[in-house]
A and B are shown apart, each in its own frame.
Chain A
Amino acid sequence: MNDIAPGATYMFLAYALAAALYHGYFAHLRRSERELEKGTR
């Protein structure tokens, strides 16, 4: 694979980890918001 696109493994890893981080934070925010909505209802 690295013969075709040298450095591709690092690129995909960087994009995957960044996407997991941002999506994880988004999910955490939405979960916190829903719990607070229930708690203060």
Chain B
Amino acid sequence: METKVEMPETDVGGGAARGAVPISRWRRPLGALTVVGLAVLAWAAFIYAPTDVAQVNATSQRIFYIHVPSAWVGMLAFAVVFVASVGFLVSNKPKWDRMAAASAEIGVVFTTAVLITGPLWGRAAWGVYWQWDPRLTSFLMLWLIYLSYLALRGYLPDPAKRARYSAVLGIVGFFDIPIVFLAVRWWRSQHPGELVLRGALPGSMLAAMFVGLVTFTFMYLYFMSVRMRIAKLRDASEEDEL
């Protein structure tokens, strides 16, 4: 566990807690890269990328530039939960548990964005907000698994049990990700799949999507740096109470 270090009274920059749990040196650059990236993404998604005239309600296709990056970060976040959960079960070190908890929470935020933007695009392109399509259903299951992961963490007061049980769920839940990816191949799905791998996108659309992927990855890393520090501060305050 982290130990709280006593800081001198002259530390006017934030007090003992801030001194005990320093802010990551990467946070500011990551924040700046995210802000710049979002500005470039706005230009790329609304102006640079062409309108996909082949689609019904063509302008709605631009939802793609936030829908896919949000899904990518959701998957990345849950992959980090998987790695951190294995790391915790192997080493029993609390830093792995903190990382898994932080990444799961952020992953749920990003997958929530996917489940907001997707149905709006679906309504414009297909005429319905939702259908029980294999890709949509497996993705909804993924979201529910990690929502239950967060609920499990909230319900278990014993930190050791909380870390161990949630690590198991973090590992088991990850196995839904290949199902989400392969759902469009295994079953008949109306959801587009692997457009990038098939080279079906024109270069300008691909570039705009790439800006989205990079920017949202920076945003994930920024959120992780803040959320990890919050977990450390919580641990420090719990130690103070003991």
* Interface residues of A, Cβ cutoff 8 Å to B: 2, 5-8, 10-11, 13-15, 17-18, 21-22, 25-26, 29-30, 32-33, 36-37, 39-41
Does B57 sit at the interface, judged by CB under 8 A? yes
Decide: A15 near B66, CB < 8 A? Known: A30-B226, A33-B233, A36-B237. yes
Main secondary structure of the interface of A (DSSP, over half): helix
A-B pairs with lowest CB-CB distance, top 10: A7-B57, A7-B60, A40-B17, A41-B15, A36-B233, A10-B124, A7-B59, A14-B117, A7-B124, A5-B59
**Residue in contact with A22 in the complex, picked from B14, B55, B109, CB distance below 8 Å:** B109
For the complex formed, measure the closest distance between the CB of B184 and the CB atoms of chain A, giving whole angstroms. 21
For the complex formed, measure the closest distance between the CB of A9 and the CB atoms of chain B, giving whole angstroms. 8
Q: How far, in whole Å, are A6 and B56 apart by their CA atoms in the complex?
A: 8
Chain B residues with Cβ under 8 A from A37's Cβ? Answer: 14-15, 17-18, 233
Main secondary structure of the interface of B (DSSP, over half): helix
Q: How far, in whole Å, are A2 and B59 apart by their CA atoms in the complex?
A: 9
B227 touches A29 (CB 8 A): yes
For the complex formed, measure the closest distance between the CB of B102 and the CB atoms of chain A, giving whole angstroms. 10
B234 touches A36 (CB 8 A): yes
Decide: A21 near B121, CB < 8 A? Known: A11-B60, A37-B17. no
Decide: A6 near B14, CB < 8 A? Known: A11-B63, A13-B120, A17-B116. no
Chain B residues with Cβ under 8 A from A21's Cβ? Answer: 109, 112-113, 116
Task: List B217-242 residues whose CB lies under 8 Å from chain A.
Answer: 219, 223, 226-227, 229-230, 233-234, 236-237, 240
- Residue count of chain B within 8 Å CB distance of chain A: 42
Chain B residues with Cβ under 8 A from A26's Cβ? Answer: 223
Q: How far, in whole Å, are A11 and B233 apart by their CA atoms in the complex?
A: 39
Q: How far, in whole Å, are A30 and B59 apart by their CA atoms in the complex?
A: 34
For the complex formed, measure the closest distance between the CB of B232 and the CB atoms of chain A, giving whole angstroms. 9
For the complex formed, measure the closest distance between the CB of A24 and the CB atoms of chain B, giving whole angstroms. 9
Decide: A8 near B59, CB < 8 A? Known: A14-B121, A18-B116, A40-B17. yes
Chain A residues with Cβ under 8 A from B59's Cβ? Answer: 5-8, 11
For the complex formed, measure the closest distance between the CB of A38 and the CB atoms of chain B, giving whole angstroms. 8
For the complex formed, measure the closest distance between the CB of B236 and the CB atoms of chain A, giving whole angstroms. 5
Nearest residue in A to B19 (C-beta to C-beta)? A41
Does B62 sit at the interface, judged by CB under 8 A? yes
Nearest residue in A to B67 (C-beta to C-beta)? A14
